[in-house]
Chain A
Amino acid sequence: DAMVIQNPRYQVTQFGKPVTLSCSQTLNHNVMYWYQQKSSQAPKLLFHYYDKDFNNEADTPDNFQSRRPNTSFCFLDIRSPGLGDAAMYLCATSRDIVGEAQYFGPGTRLTVL
């Protein structure tokens, strides 16, 4: 089935140790998003790619970076994770930015020790 896949589902890292989360999609959608969701909070958009064009949200910390090497894959890099970065990280895709549903992956739960 066409879907959005995130690996790993659970990631444990140490304070300050770089970590990469991955997302892949078989929907051939143009747009890929990364959200951060903390407990009992709304998903918060970090950045998105429209094709190869990267769009960073103004309040996304510099500690967070992203790469999209091709249509199917997108990566979230956290250069120096802090305790406050522990959260669920959600990848989503959509055909277009405007007027389209977003399709979410199952998420990666990040723990920072």
Chain B
Amino acid sequence: SQKIEQNSEALNIQEGKTATLTCNYTNYSPAYLQWYRQDPGRGPVFLLLIRENEKEKRKERLKVTFDTTLKQSLFHITASQPADSATYLCALPDKLIFGTGTRLQVFP
């Protein structure tokens, strides 16, 4: 069956640094992959969708890469801020199969 893993349960970084989160998947060849942000007690919020023919996608300080050979997506937040602290979820289509998320904490 399809499986999606986010390698780090938690990631702590200092403000201003680049946070890099990893998402790996198996038994699947997705046409696209999505990233969401979830704050405690709230629903996930869509951030980015990257398609299999897109190696990289950017949105403001966010950058996502998609390597279909490695079956991996990387999510980067540059110039991180304490307000970026949240859990970040990757998700496979269709209907969304979510990873368990990486809890990012950005310290001042």
| A and B pair up | yes
Asked whether A43 lies within 8 Å of B95 as measured between CB atoms, the reply is no
Inside 8 A of B97's CB, which chain A residues have their CB?
A: 45
- B108 at the A/B interface (Cβ < 8 Å)? no
Tell me if B19 is interfacial: C-beta within 8 Å of chain A: no
Whether the pair B42, A103 counts as a contact (CB closer than 8 A) is: no
Residue of B nearest to A41 (CB): B100
| A102-B46 contact, Cβ under 8 Å, with A40-B100, A42-B101, A45-B95 | yes
Q: How far is the CA of A88 from the CA of B40 in the complex (A)?
A: 11
Interface residues on A, range: 20 to 34
Is A8 among interface residues, defined by CB-CB distance under 8 A?
A: no
Please determine whether B41 and A109 come into contact, CB atoms closer than 8 angstroms. yes
In angstroms, Cα B100 to Cα A54, docked, is: 26
Which residues of chain A have a CB within 8 Å of any CB of chain B? 4, 33, 40-45, 48, 88, 90, 92, 97-99, 101-107, 109
Q: A102-B44, A104-B44 are in contact. List 4 more A-B contacts (CB 8 A).
A: A43-B89, A48-B95, A90-B44, A107-B43
